[in-house]
Amino acid sequence: MTRRLTRLSRRTFLADLGRGSAAIAVFGLAACSSSDDERSSDATNPTTAGGVAGPETNQGGDADGVRWTEVSFGFVSAFVLARPDGITVVDTGTSGGVGAIETAIGELGGTWTDVGHVIATHSHGDHVGSLQQVLDAAPNATGYAGTDDLADISIAADLVGLEDGDDVAGFQIVATPGHTPGSICVYDPMSRLLVAGDAVLTSGGDIQGPSAQFSADLDLANASALRLAELQVETLLAGHGDPVVDRTAEKLAALALDLG
């Protein structure tokens, strides 16, 4: 069963462009796939009993009032965002990531009861593999995903469908279809922070376009990436790659030139 979001506020995307934004991108060993069975063998990550690399939390940052921590699964990352009024989890990585997400919440000074919102940027298994378990652990949380991806996320919990301009706990939803039909980004215009999902990738400190291999509609995905390049971004977090916090808007502008 799914629900549509009752909008807390409707702010058009273009109206916020002049206020700036921020995004953080994380790139790893794989771009993205619809399977949650991929795993990294990165030796820097702790391993499970089966020898498979397990998730670990990495030091995050403070983007003008929004504190964040990365939960790395080796090739894909989830993020925990904390404000004084509560915690939002964006993506949940592959299956078995609940413990690492709990650790990240604790590092930000919270517990599961402080988690009010769990947002999936898209339906691929390496981003929603622990979604049901995280929602089970967080008694006060509502789960969300892009409306056009709801049918492809098979969990028992109800999810609220999100569309462009919706507001979740002060974070603006930016629709970025193409990687999947319902791909979304999570944007905070005040702190200029964007969690970009797989709308863009990063590598070596640079920002790259979406994955050609794993995007359902590459032309549409590229158009969505161009839309992000219109933002004045300071911090960019994506599902695959390292955080970009230096000259981020300039790098997005360079990406726009490449894609344009």
CATH number for the domain including 29? Answer: 3.60.15.10
**Could you tell me if residue 24 is left (phi over 0), alpha (psi between -120 and 50 degrees) or otherwise beta?**
beta
**Domain-located, residue 1:** no
Q: What is the mean pLDDT of residues 45-57?
A: 50
Which of residues 32 and 220 earns the better pLDDT score?
Answer: 220
Phi/psi at 52 (nearest 5 deg)?
A: -90, 135
Residue 50 clears pLDDT 70, i.e. is over it: no
Predicted structure pTM score: 0.81
- The total domain count for the chain is 1
| Percent of the chain at pLDDT exceeding 70 | 79
| CA–CA–CA angle 35, 75, 232 (5° rounding) | 105
Per-residue tokens: 157: 């919990």
pLDDT reading at 65 higher than 60: yes
pLDDT digits (tens, 9 = 90+) for 143-197: 999 999 999 999 999 999 999 999 999 999 999 999 999 999 999 988 899 999 9
Query: Residue 32's pLDDT band (boundaries 50, 70, 90)?
Result: low
103 found inside a domain: yes
Q: How many CA atoms lie within 13 A of 219 on its CB side?
A: 0
- Tell me the residue range of the domain where 201 lies: 9-259
**From CA 231, how far away is CA 84, in angstroms rounded?**
25
CB of 89 closer than 8 Å to CB of 237: no
In whole angstroms, what is the distance from residue 185 CA to residue 63 CA? Answer: 17
Q: How far is CA 79 from CA 64, 66, 69, 127, in A?
A: 16, 12, 6, 11
pLDDT digits (tens, 9 = 90+) for 88-146: 999 999 999 999 999 999 999 999 999 999 999 999 999 999 999 999 999 999 999 99
In a domain, 3, yes or no: no
- For the stretch 233-244, pLDDT in tens is 899 998 999 888
Mean pLDDT, range 32-59, rounded to an integer? 45
Q: Indicate whether 189 belongs to any domain.
A: yes
Enumerate the β-bridge partners of residue 53: 47
